[in-house]
A and B are shown apart, each in its own frame.
Chain A
Amino acid sequence: MSTLLFAAASGAYGAKIHTPHIDYLSILPILIMMGGAVLLVTASSLFRQVMGVGSATFITVGTAIATLVAALFQWDHVVTHGAKVTIAGSIAYDGFSVFIQIVVAIAMLLTALIADGYLKREGIDGPEFHVLAMLSASGAMLMGSANDLIVIFLGLEILSIALYVLAAFNHKRAESGEAALKYFVLGAFSSAVFVYGIALVYGATGSSNLPQIADYLSKNVVASNGVLLAGLALLLVGFGFKIAAVPFHMWSPDVYQGSPSPVTGLMAAIAKAGAFAALLRVFVSSFGTLRADWQPIVWGIAILSLVVGAFAALVQKDIKRMMAYSSINHAGFILLGVQAATVRGVSASLYYLFAYMFMVIGTFAVITVVARDGDSGHQLTDYRGLGKRQPLLALAFAVLLLAQAGAPFTTGFLAKFTVVAAAVDIHSYALAVIAMASAAVAAFFYLRVVVAMYSPVGAVGDLSDLDAGELDAGPISVASPANAPVSVHGQNDAVASLSVLTEGPPTSAVADRMVRVPGLTTVAIGLSVGFTIVFGIIPGPIVDFAHQATLLFT
């Protein structure tokens, strides 16, 4: 009561309430991205008819490009004026944050292009997909610039909550809702763990602000402080869930498989970018003095992710599940840079995130178009003969997969090389060796898809690849006597004979048809492949970019 009176009295006498100075340039890309989402949803509600996907895509692409331009302007500004901390110390405005904004803005741009074709094909109208994607992108960007644990948490939630909805977006597929629920329950669990970790760190250090925590830790010797270490462990668990590192990866195969394909690409790119950015900032810069405590744990998580990701992907039949385990494997690689906790390690991780963003979104763009109507063709058999039917699409997919495997002359090779070099730098030889071995194992499952694409569709081995689920799915079972010889025939004969014999196309005949690649998706795939190859051959610019971003780290 007395405080209320006091507030009223001071208000009456015109006492100023001091609000922090807000440097709008430091949050300009986030504002543009979030503003674009708000504008789009508001604009669409003003019209009587449902807004078409085309115009929503147009606005989204425009917003993403504006965000990118603002981020590039920021980069110029940071390089000339230096890094700083703004808005009462809660936002860091440095090369590191600008780097993440650029990565996320490009990811949003590519996803908008891919989603356009997907939404039209699936007959999902309205601007909501793009609105949610932009909101979640702004969350990832906020995580990149957050300089306070609670701001990281807010960014994490803006990112995740929009992604939960996006995962459920295709209401025609039962898997989509199931994926969303699994993602939601485990995501909410990990957020709660993360918040409790923040609470414990706050209690132990007296602040949730990262520089103040670092300051406290450098001035006070906190050997075996139980509360602080527990908080640190809980933060690591929270991050582990978001980056899908083993043993916190259980959600990711189901969620990757069930979500609409463009969403999976976006999820893989920006959730990793945002969460790794925050992880690097919290652990390397704030808890750097405690690295003896957390480095062994990150070491273990990295090894588990590398090994489990590579080996579990080998036995997957569904390509999106395989990509989920592949992304777990990639998380292990990026953790190599985190574990090193050196300038070299951080810049290697940043470079990896940039390269991975292009590779994974391009890969999911191809997966989106190959899946056809209903977003259901994700078996390896759906890729059989793609090299003959659509050589360019198959070539693009092969390049992206080989880049993920770490083939030379692609950004993927350089990304793997830099993180392993960073691990060797701090004498983590065991980790480096395991990483390279896991890359060799991983190459096997990427190559399996490439081989499938370039093998003829009518090969006798086809039937053995079809599992029971797929047999049930087709309108006419492939195993039924009428169709049994089909898979032994050459592909043209098979199509011809089937179109005469049956009305509903059986599975193998569907796989023979060309898939339609919308123009905008072609642009997105082209950009991904172009980036992966051009900057794989001329690595200088991006490596320097990532390195400079690290030097401008507050």
Chain B
Amino acid sequence: MIGAASALNGNISGEWYLALAAVLFAIGAFGLLIRRNVLVMFMCVELMLNAANLTFVTFANMLHDIGGQVLVFFVLVVAAAEVVVGLGIVVAIFRRRANATADDFHLMKG
């Protein structure tokens, strides 16, 4: 079982991981632009950040450089901090009205 998994790992070249990351990033960006629920929009941001993380790890592996893997930790920490603040803002808005749909945020125009 373990042998089969490692053989599979050996067969997949880095380019596939990069392509997967690019697809994930595109899904995240597209989702952020078309979805109207703020929480789903947060998830899309997370998806984009994790796509970047996957790219970092893949490149670190391809370049035999530990630096790229270290960068992932920074991104993870920042992503966590960002979500904390984002959810706080959503809660503050929820207290005013009972939903979190982007279409309702139209107090300001011009």
A residues neighboring B (CB under 8 Å): 150, 153-154, 157, 161, 164-165, 168, 171, 174-175, 177-182, 184-185, 188-189, 191-193, 195-196, 198-200, 202-203, 206-208, 253-254, 257-258, 315-318, 321
Bound-complex Cα distance A193 to B93 (A): 26
**Could you list 19 examples of A-B contacts with CB < 8 Å?**
A153-B78, A157-B81, A161-B81, A161-B82, A164-B85, A165-B88, A175-B107, A177-B96, A178-B93, A178-B105, A184-B82, A184-B86, A184-B89, A188-B42, A188-B86, A191-B49, A191-B82, A198-B52, A253-B108
Determine which of A161, A202, A321 lies in contact with B85 in the assembled complex, contact meaning CB atoms within 8 Å. A161
Bound-complex Cα distance A318 to B109 (A): 10
Contact A202 B71 (CB under 8 A): yes
Bound-complex Cα distance A252 to B81 (A): 23
Q: How far is the CB of B46 from chain A (nearest CB, A)?
A: 9
Interface residues of B in 13-33 (CB under 8 A from A): 18, 21, 25, 28-29, 32
Q: Find chain B residues with CB under 8 A from A171 CB.
A: 92
Bound-complex Cα distance A182 to B104 (A): 12
Q: Mark B58-74, 1 if CB is under 8 A from A, else 0.
A: 11001101011001001
Interface residues of B in 77-110 (CB under 8 A from A): 78, 81-82, 85-86, 88-90, 92-93, 96, 102, 105, 107-108, 110
Bound-complex Cα distance A181 to B81 (A): 15
Q: Find chain B residues with CB under 8 A from A198 CB.
A: 52, 71
Q: How far is the CB of B90 from chain A (nearest CB, A)?
A: 7
Bound-complex Cα distance A195 to B96 (A): 33
With A207-B67, A208-B67, A316-B110 already in contact, the answer to whether A195 and B75 are too (CB < 8 A) is: yes
Bound-complex Cα distance A191 to B75 (A): 10
Q: Find chain B residues with CB under 8 A from A165 CB.
A: 85, 88-89
With A196-B48, A254-B108 already in contact, the answer to whether A185 and B67 are too (CB < 8 A) is: no
Q: How many B residues face the partner with a CB closer than 8 A?
A: 43
With A208-B71, A253-B110 already in contact, the answer to whether A199 and B86 are too (CB < 8 A) is: no
Q: Which of A168, A188, A208 neighbours the largest number of chain B CB atoms within 10 Å of its CB? A: A188
Bound-complex Cα distance A164 to B81 (A): 12
Bound-complex Cα distance A192 to B86 (A): 14
Determine which of A164, A200, A317 lies in contact with B110 in the assembled complex, contact meaning CB atoms within 8 Å. A317
Q: How far is the CB of B14 from chain A (nearest CB, A)?
A: 9
Contact B93 A175 (CB under 8 A): no
Bound-complex Cα distance A247 to B75 (A): 26
SS of B interface (majority): helix
Bound-complex Cα distance A193 to B48 (A): 8
The residue in chain A whose Cβ has the minimal distance to the Cβ of B97 is A174
Determine which of A161, A181, A192, A202 lies in contact with B105 in the assembled complex, contact meaning CB atoms within 8 Å. A181
Q: Find chain B residues with CB under 8 A from A191 CB.
A: 49, 78, 82
Q: Find chain A residues with CB under 8 A from B102 CB.
A: 185
Bound-complex Cα distance A179 to B53 (A): 29
Determine which of B53, B63, B105 lies in contact with A203 in the assembled complex, contact meaning CB atoms within 8 Å. B63
Contact B78 A157 (CB under 8 A): yes
Contact B59 A203 (CB under 8 A): yes
Q: How far is the CB of B39 from chain A (nearest CB, A)?
A: 11
Q: How far is the CB of B13 from chain A (nearest CB, A)?
A: 14
Contact B38 A199 (CB under 8 A): no
Q: How far is the CB of A34 from chain B (nearest CB, A)?
A: 15
Q: Which of B45, B85, B96, B108 neighbours the largest number of chain A CB atoms within 10 Å of its CB? A: B108
With A181-B89, A208-B71 already in contact, the answer to whether A188 and B110 are too (CB < 8 A) is: no
Bound-complex Cα distance A451 to B107 (A): 28
Bound-complex Cα distance A195 to B75 (A): 8
Q: Find chain A residues with CB under 8 A from B81 CB.
A: 157, 161
Q: Which of A168, A195, A321 neighbours the largest number of chain B CB atoms within 10 Å of its CB? A: A195
Bound-complex Cα distance A196 to B110 (A): 32
Bound-complex Cα distance A153 to B82 (A): 13
Bound-complex Cα distance A182 to B86 (A): 10
The residue in chain A whose Cβ has the minimal distance to the Cβ of B81 is A161
The residue in chain B whose Cβ has the minimal distance to the Cβ of A167 is B89
Q: How far is the CB of A320 from chain B (nearest CB, A)?
A: 10
Determine which of A180, A199, A202, A203 lies in contact with B89 in the assembled complex, contact meaning CB atoms within 8 Å. A180
Determine which of A203, A208, A316 lies in contact with B55 in the assembled complex, contact meaning CB atoms within 8 Å. A203
Bound-complex Cα distance A165 to B75 (A): 20
The residue in chain B whose Cβ has the minimal distance to the Cβ of A204 is B59
Q: How far is the CB of A286 from chain B (nearest CB, A)?
A: 16
Bound-complex Cα distance A174 to B104 (A): 12
Q: Which of B53, B55, B63, B74 neighbours the largest number of chain A CB atoms within 10 Å of its CB? A: B55
Q: Find chain A residues with CB under 8 A from B93 CB.
A: 177-178, 181
Q: How far is the CB of B89 from chain A (nearest CB, A)?
A: 5
The residue in chain B whose Cβ has the minimal distance to the Cβ of A254 is B108
Given pairs A171-B92, A185-B102, A208-B68, 15 additional interface contacts (CB within 8 A): A153-B75, A157-B82, A175-B107, A177-B89, A178-B105, A181-B38, A184-B82, A192-B45, A195-B49, A196-B55, A199-B71, A203-B18, A203-B63, A208-B71, A258-B108
Bound-complex Cα distance A308 to B49 (A): 31
Bound-complex Cα distance A188 to B52 (A): 13
Q: Find chain B residues with CB under 8 A from A164 CB.
A: 85-86, 89
Q: Find chain A residues with CB under 8 A from B85 CB.
A: 161, 164-165, 184
Q: Which of A154, A185, A316 neighbours the largest number of chain B CB atoms within 10 Å of its CB? A: A185
Bound-complex Cα distance A352 to B71 (A): 33
Q: Find chain B residues with CB under 8 A from A154 CB.
A: 74, 78
The residue in chain B whose Cβ has the minimal distance to the Cβ of A165 is B85
Determine which of A150, A161, A185, A318 lies in contact with B74 in the assembled complex, contact meaning CB atoms within 8 Å. A150
Contact B82 A188 (CB under 8 A): yes
With A165-B85, A207-B67 already in contact, the answer to whether A182 and B105 are too (CB < 8 A) is: yes
Contact B88 A318 (CB under 8 A): no
Bound-complex Cα distance A202 to B82 (A): 23
The residue in chain B whose Cβ has the minimal distance to the Cβ of A203 is B59
Bound-complex Cα distance A223 to B53 (A): 26
The residue in chain B whose Cβ has the minimal distance to the Cβ of A173 is B107
Q: How far is the CB of A89 from chain B (nearest CB, A)?
A: 11
Q: Find chain A residues with CB under 8 A from B107 CB.
A: 174-175, 178, 258
Q: Mark B33-57, 1 if CB is under 8 A from A, else 0.
A: 0000010011001001101110110
